[in-house]
Amino acid sequence: MRIKHRRRKSLLDTKQLIIFKYIVFIIFLIYALTLIFPFAWMLVNSFKTNIEFFSNIWAFPNQINFRNYSSVLNDFHVVRSTGSYNIMSMFGISIFITLVGTFLNILVSSMVAYVVAKYKFVGSTFLYSLAVFVMIVPVVGTLPAQYQLMQSLGLYNTMIGLFVLYSGGFGFNFILMYGFFKSISWNYAEAAFVDGASDFQVFFRVMIPLAKPSMIALSVIHAIGLWNDYITPSIYLKDIPTLAVGLRTLTATMVARGAYAEMFATMIIAVLPILIVFIIFQKTIMENTIVGGLKG
pLDDT band at 2 (very low <50, low <70, confident <90, very high): low
Mean pLDDT to the nearest integer, 167-179: 83
pLDDT single digits (tens) 132-156: 887 777 767 778 888 899 999 999 9
What does the pLDDT read at residue 18?
82
Strands 293-294 vs 289-290: parallel, antiparallel or unpaired: antiparallel
Mean pLDDT to the nearest integer, 271-278: 86
Residue 259 CB partners (closer than 8 Å, separation 6+): 50, 71
What does the pLDDT read at residue 292?
41
pLDDT single digits (tens) 36-81: 898 899 999 999 989 899 888 898 888 888 888 988 888 888 888 8
Instruction: Map out the domains of the chain as residue ranges.
Output: 2-45, 80-294
Q: Are 78 and 241 in contact (CB under 8 A)?
A: yes
What does the pLDDT read at residue 138?
72
Measure the CA dihedral 211/216/218/224, to 10°.
170
Mean pLDDT to the nearest integer, 247-259: 88
What does the pLDDT read at residue 291?
41
Q: Name the residue among 232, 225, 106 with its Cα closest to residue 174.
A: 106
Residue 12 CB partners (closer than 8 Å, separation 6+): none
CATH of segment(s) 80-294: 1.10.3720.10
What does the pLDDT read at residue 11?
57
pLDDT band at 233 (very low <50, low <70, confident <90, very high): very high
Q: Name the residue among 215, 225, 95, 217 with its Cα closest to residue 166.
A: 225
Q: Does the model's pTM come out above 0.75?
A: yes
What does the pLDDT read at residue 272?
86
Q: Buried b vs exposed e over 163-191: b needs ≥16 C-beta within 10 Å? A: bbbbbebbeebbbbbbbbbeebeeeebee
What does the pLDDT read at residue 66?
86
Averaged confidence pLDDT in the chain: 85
Distance of CA 5 to the CA centre of its chain: 53
Instruction: With H, G, I as helix, E, B as strand and everything else as coil, classify residue 295.
Output: coil
